[in-house]
């Protein structure tokens, strides 16, 4: 072989070494990130722990892709290696198998979360009817015109409206106005809370479904890689 050919082989060998080194660093970053995601969240709140695990794993899902590509690319170069090439294919088979295990865990977490969110509905600790009854009971206890006017003034201010109290001298009519305003305020409050709950639930639900679908795709992908690398290992 000519000197230029030997020099080219050395360059390719160095590039292959750098590719494997970079791939190993990416694998380490991925698995350390997954480990810290597991240890970083207290298992006392298992629901939050599962959500955090899935999110952290998905955010790092590109690292093993790049690492496997670099590692496989480095094996295409003919060079003097410390081990037989079958050893390196076996290494990639193990990496792919670990990927399957991790994403099976993510699939279980995400599917359970999606199932739980699909069953959830807005269910406040205290219902609107109960609060309306409490409000009506407290309004009924008002015994003086001045107290009723003060309560009506406060209610109208909370509603963002001004009300004329000069001609209001009938206690029962003032109580009715207070109840109407307070009922409107309570209804608006519950409707706002329900809309916010539905928005949060919809966002979390589709995120869980998205992670479930991604997990299935990743499992299939790593399974195919594991089988492919295993065949290469046996044929090397």
Q: What is the pLDDT of residues 176-231, one digit of tens each?
A: 888 888 898 899 999 999 999 999 999 999 999 999 999 999 999 999 999 998 99
Task: State which H helix or E strand residue 82 sits in.
Answer: none
Residue written as tokens 């690319």?
Answer: 73
Residue written as tokens 């390196």?
Answer: 88
2: confidence class by pLDDT, cuts 50, 70, 90:
low
Q: Max alpha carbon distance in the chain (Å)? A: 112
pTM: 0.75
Distance CA 81, CA 95 (A): 20
**Domain definitions of the chain by residue range:** 3-123+215-235, 128-196
Residue spans of alpha helices (H) in the chain: 3-40, 46-59, 62-74, 85-119, 128-140, 145-159, 171-235
Distance CA 55, CA 97 (A): 20
């Amino acid at each position: 072989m000519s000197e230029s050919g030997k020099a080219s082989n050395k360059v390719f060998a160095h590039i292959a070494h750098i590719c494997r080194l970079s791939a190993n660093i990416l694998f380490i970053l991925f698995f350390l990130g997954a480990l810290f995601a597991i240890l970083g969240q207290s298992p006392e709140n298992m629901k939050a722990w599962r959500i955090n695990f899935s999110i952290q794993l998905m955010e790092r899902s590109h690292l093993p892709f790049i690492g496997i590509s670099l590692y496989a690319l480095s094996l295409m170069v003919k060079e003097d290696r410390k081990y037989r090439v079958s050893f390196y294919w076996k290494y990639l088979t193990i990496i792919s198998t670990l990927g399957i295990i991790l994403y099976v865990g993510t699939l279980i977490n995400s599917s359970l979360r999606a199932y739980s969110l699909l069953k959830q509905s807005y269910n406040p600790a205290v219902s609107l009817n109960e609060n309306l009854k409490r409000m009506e009971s407290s309004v009924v206890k008002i015994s003086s015109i001045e107290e009723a006017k003060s309560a009506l003034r406060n209610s109208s201010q909370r509603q963002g409206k001004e009300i004329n109290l000069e001609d209001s001298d009938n206690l029962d009519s003032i109580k009715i106005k207070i109840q109407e305003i307070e009922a409107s305020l309570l209804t608006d409050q519950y409707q706002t809370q329900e809309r916010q709950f539905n928005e949060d639930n919809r966002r979390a639900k589709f995120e869980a479904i998205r992670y479930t679908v991604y997990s299935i795709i990743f499992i299939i992908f790593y399974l195919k890689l594991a089988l492919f690398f295993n065949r290469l290992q046996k044929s090397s």
